[in-house]
Amino acid sequence: MKDNRIYLSPSEMPTEYYNILPDMPTPMAMPLHPGTKQPVSPDDLAPLFPEELIMQEMSSERFIKIPEEVLDIYSISRPTPVYRAFRLEEFLGTPAKIYFKYEGVNPAGSHKTNTAIAQAYYNKRAGVKKIVTETGAGQWGSALAIATQHFGIDLQVFMVKVSYHQKPYRKTMMQLHGARVEASPSTITQSGRQILAEDPDSPGSLGIAISEAVEIAANSPDINYSLGSVLNHVMLHQTIIGEETKKQLAKVGEYPDIVIGCAGGGSNFAGLSFPFLRDKLTGDKKDMRVIAVEPSSCPTLTKGKFAYDFGDTVGFTPLLKMFTLGHKFIPPKIHAGGLRYHGMAPTISHLYKEGVIEAQNYHQIEVFDAAKDFLTAEGILPAPESAHAIKAAIEEAKKCKETGEAKTILFNLSGHGFLDLGAYDSYINNQLEDYQLPEEVIFRYFAELPEVG
């Protein structure tokens, strides 16, 4: 019998996060204040975030210690396992060796817990009593609901309206942990009312939900804001994924030739890939390929523009230099709700601009086909978001079959699909449709990008 699991003991859990900023090939563009267009200062961020998170956002330290209290809560489910996908390899008839890191064993069913626990901890240390946030598919909202309950903090969540209705059980999960959940756009903020006045049937977007959450936090001195992706400190917290994975693969004498992750805002992709990219940027792994995978209907890296843009729709947030489809972009109602964001994390955007990483996009139906094949072979139902990484891994394994190369492929299975059965029901009943974002639509949104000198 083949043992396909690679574990770490709790005592082997990494005790530091990795900050990729000092190892960037060229300096990154600074975030800008939305009003003055000058570089953002710590004081500009203070109305939204606790001081320690602001310092992490701007840190030049390569490694940042993980607090003991955070490690203790991590140990509920971490270290998470790495699996060798022997049956998928056999299913594909490939000489490639396929490994995946499985984050679906975390309490919220995804990687999002890694930063949720850290952010809730730092807010608790700062004396914060309430946090407000947004969520797309609901994985981030669920993770933060769990984390805030651990630390006795109230939580209000603005959930993108289309996902609010597509994924009602994620709403239920958040409510079970004491969170208040609003469908976004809502009528309780000026931002929401403005959007609804323009389009009463708006399906919502992560940008709109961020606007609503930031509006409340910015106008309430006793409420902080929390974000599940995009920002540097979020990427930082997720690197425990890759740091664990490096240790696990070393136990079996392996190192990946190809690292793959799905990418919406970028947190799980960064979490797995950044510790490996450290070796590519500073060591001898120059030939390693790192691939970010996104939906064809929301192709931020592959079709977006590298420019300064708002992280939200209304224009409250700092301007970030990133690949973007435009902050006014309203994504199609695809089922991979966690990948429906108009922008990509500035760190990932910078790496893509510099040619350090690659990007691919796939249509919805072929991604669900890959998820079904993975379920058949490995017995694990993936979240639709993670299925994008599976699709790319399968395609790379097929190339190895053609060339005869036994490459080592690693991908991040960042969440399970148990609360996505509505999407899978649509798939098996042939009710899913592919959507190719028209070029003219993309250029229309580009025209509304903010002007920055």
At 3 the pLDDT is: 76
Q: Tokens standing for 401?
A: 């079959």
At 166 the pLDDT is: 82
**pLDDT, tens digit, for every residue of 177-188?**
999 999 999 999
What's the mean pLDDT in 74-88?
97
pLDDT-derived band at 1, boundaries 50, 70, 90: low
Which runs of E-coded beta strand occur in 256-357? 258-262, 289-295, 305-310, 319-324
CA distances in angstroms from 266 to 205, 260, 308, 365, listed in the order given = 16, 12, 17, 22
pLDDT-derived band at 235, boundaries 50, 70, 90: very high
**pLDDT, tens digit, for every residue of 334-387?**
666 668 788 999 999 999 999 999 999 999 999 999 999 999 999 999 999 999
Consecutive H or E run containing 196? helix 190-198
Higher pLDDT, 1 or 231: 231
408 has pLDDT over 70: yes
pLDDT-derived band at 315, boundaries 50, 70, 90: confident
Q: What is the DSSP letter of 21?
A: G
Higher pLDDT, 435 or 57: 57
At 302 the pLDDT is: 95
At 135 the pLDDT is: 92
64 has pLDDT over 80: yes
What's the mean pLDDT in 402-422?
94
112 has pLDDT over 80: yes
At 337 the pLDDT is: 61
Strands 319-324 and 305-310, sheet pairing: antiparallel
What class has domain 67-109+233-442?
alpha beta
pLDDT-derived band at 115, boundaries 50, 70, 90: very high
At 133 the pLDDT is: 96
Stated pTM of the model: 0.94
At 420 the pLDDT is: 85
138 has pLDDT over 90: no
CB of 411 closer than 8 Å to CB of 260? yes
Q: Comparing C-alpha atoms, which of 365, 372, 324 is closest to residue 348?
A: 324
pLDDT-derived band at 394, boundaries 50, 70, 90: very high
Which residue reads 């799980």 in tokens? 268
pLDDT-derived band at 142, boundaries 50, 70, 90: very high
Higher pLDDT, 1 or 289: 289
User: At 167, which amino acid appears?
Assistant: K
CA 230 to chain centre: 7
C-alpha gyration radius of the chain? 20
DSSP letter string, 417-434:
-TT-HHHHHHHHTT----
Sheet (strand 223-225) strand order: 180-184, 154-160, 130-135, 223-225
At 333 the pLDDT is: 67
At 84 the pLDDT is: 97
Q: Comparing C-alpha atoms, which of 312, 295, 293 is closest to residue 160?
A: 312
Q: Residue 10: count other Cβ atoms within 10 Å of its Cβ.
A: 11
